Amino acid sequence: MNLSRRRLFQTGLAGSLASMLPVSAASVGASSPVRARGIIFMVSDGMSSGVLPMSEAFSQQLRKRPTAWWQLLSGPATVHGLMDTASSDSLVTDSAAASSAWSSGQRIPNSQVNISDKGRELESIGATLRTQNVRLGLVTTSKVTHATPAGFAANSVDRNDEDHIAPQYLDRAELVLGGGSKFFDAAKRGDRRDLFAEYRKAGYEVLRHRDELLASNSPKLLGTFASDHLPYSIDRAADPKLAKKVPTLAEMTRAALDRFLASDKPFLLQVEGARIDHAAHANDIGALLHDQLAFDDALAEVIAMTAAHPEILVVITSDHGNANPALNGTGAAYRRTNEHFERIARARASHEAILASWKSKPGDTSDLVALIEKSLGFTPEKEEASALLDTLAGREFAEWSHQLSNPPGLLGQISGNHTGTGWTGVSHTADPTVISSFGPGSAAFSGLVRNDQVRDKLLETLGV
């Protein structure tokens, strides 16, 4: 995208986004050809549907503008549906089975990557596209070897065998951007294989720093900007060193799309906001909403960059729900709801960062009260802090939900007492997820879509 258009978009005026939507959406309605030259498949990992209205309210409060996804929901030319997300062995899927279902066209057991319940290796969509000269890109805020990107291009009996997944992107995905450098680093891999050198030899530019990404002109990229997952957006924003080293999801998306839109070759780009899922596991509403806004910034970038490209299909969805966060009405006649919700914006750190800092320097109840006050912007009751202290020390406390009787569950509930937010547990859920799409072929993603129908729809739209 040229600078002036990017600047126009980044001014954050609702009008500028709205003015772009009809171009990308209205011009590619149901009457358009079903073939697309390229597909951008965006995944807000673990995003229960209740996250959408909360992130909209959060964006309005924090940035005085709507989210791109909310605007798509209210736009007449975008297609919407629900994704049926089960795996082959559970009503509740994990990310590995979910991404594998999209990619291979088959539901498989949780924790496996494109391996069937009979132990058979299934062809990933990345492997299929490779034979048809369709370019593949994987952009994520998790380790690039994590389940969702891996599902599009790798096979592994165990999703956690990331040493095994890392070499499989060689010449299968041209653009690989995210975290997880430890799985490419000879000093950290079990087999001491130097994958950075192997990728370089295969023509990839290896990037480790945000500045390198912003300066690069190379067509093939392997960018790993952290040893593990990229930091939560809320923690990145609080640490200038991290903000300098780690690109945002929108920046990585722009880098990938710049390359794919520069030629007329077909492509599939997966963009994953991975840490929304992790924040939901941690019942951390502040981290979750900040990462959802970062995902939405990437979506806004995609909408702006494809505005002049009606030949591109954009699909936005989630692989499964997680802990189903929601805003509860509080106060008489629910009149304190907004005031409570608005406290979320005072958070300055993720629960992960708070619990890590407590672990490195524990103290007494008043120290914990002070830490929460400083990090989350509300003052917990003494009883709340002392119960949390008990769980952190592994002592029993009165909590009848097995899902919530642990430090993340309890901290989530305490935070809920002050912000009005509630959670069903700390794990994935069976709820269907929202799927929105625009561009050629989007009509195929209306109504109830099973996750194992996605592969055929994507390949058909690409004409493969």
Interface residues toward Zn ion, by CB under 5 A:
46, 277
Q: Which residues contact 338 (CB under 8 A, 6 or more apart)?
A: none
Kindly tell me which of 320 and 418 has the beta carbon lying closer to Zn ion.
Answer: 320
Q: How far apart are CA 212 and CA 135, in angstroms?
A: 22
Handedness of CA 28, 30, 36, 38 (dihedral sign): positive
Least distance (Å) between residue 95 CB and Zn ion:
6
Least distance (Å) between residue 305 CB and Zn ion:
29
Kindly tell me which of 46 and 266 has the beta carbon lying closer to Zn ion.
Answer: 46
Q: How far apart are CA 159 and CA 96, in angstroms?
A: 7
Least distance (Å) between residue 179 CB and Zn ion:
16
- Please list the residues that pair with 43 across neighbouring strands: 272, 317
Least distance (Å) between residue 281 CB and Zn ion:
6
Least distance (Å) between residue 459 CB and Zn ion:
27
With contact defined as beta carbons under 8 Å apart, do 230 and 141 qualify? yes
Least distance (Å) between residue 183 CB and Zn ion:
19
Q: Which 8-state DSSP code applies to residue 226? A: S
Q: How far apart are CA 464 and CA 133, in angstroms?
A: 10
Kindly tell me which of 178 and 266 has the beta carbon lying closer to Zn ion.
Answer: 178
Least distance (Å) between residue 284 CB and Zn ion:
13
Q: How far is CA 314 from the centre of its chain?
A: 15
Kindly tell me which of 340 and 428 has the beta carbon lying closer to Zn ion.
Answer: 428
Least distance (Å) between residue 272 CB and Zn ion:
12
Instruction: Give the angle subtended at the CA of 131 by the CAs of 201 and 140, to the nearest 5°.
Output: 60
Kindly tell me which of 61 and 427 has the beta carbon lying closer to Zn ion.
Answer: 427
Q: How far apart are CA 177 and CA 140, in angstroms?
A: 6
Least distance (Å) between residue 426 CB and Zn ion:
10
Nearest by Cα to 355 from 330, 370, 372: 372
Kindly tell me which of 330 and 424 has the beta carbon lying closer to Zn ion.
Answer: 424
Q: How far is CA 284 from the centre of its chain?
A: 15
Q: Which residue has the tokens 């640490």?
A: 239
Kindly tell me which of 54 and 279 has the beta carbon lying closer to Zn ion.
Answer: 279
Q: Nearest residue to Zn ion, using CB?
A: 277
Range 84-91 contact pairs with CB under 8 angstroms and sequence separation of 24 or more = 84/432, 84/448, 84/449, 84/450, 84/451, 85/319, 85/320, 85/321, 85/430, 85/431, 85/432, 85/433, 85/451, 86/430, 86/451, 88/117, 89/117, 91/430
Kindly tell me which of 92 and 300 has the beta carbon lying closer to Zn ion.
Answer: 92
Q: What phi-psi label fits residue 178: left (phi over 0), alpha (psi between -120 and 50 degrees) or beta?
A: left
Q: How far apart are CA 445 and CA 254, in angstroms?
A: 25
Kindly tell me which of 56 and 277 has the beta carbon lying closer to Zn ion.
Answer: 277
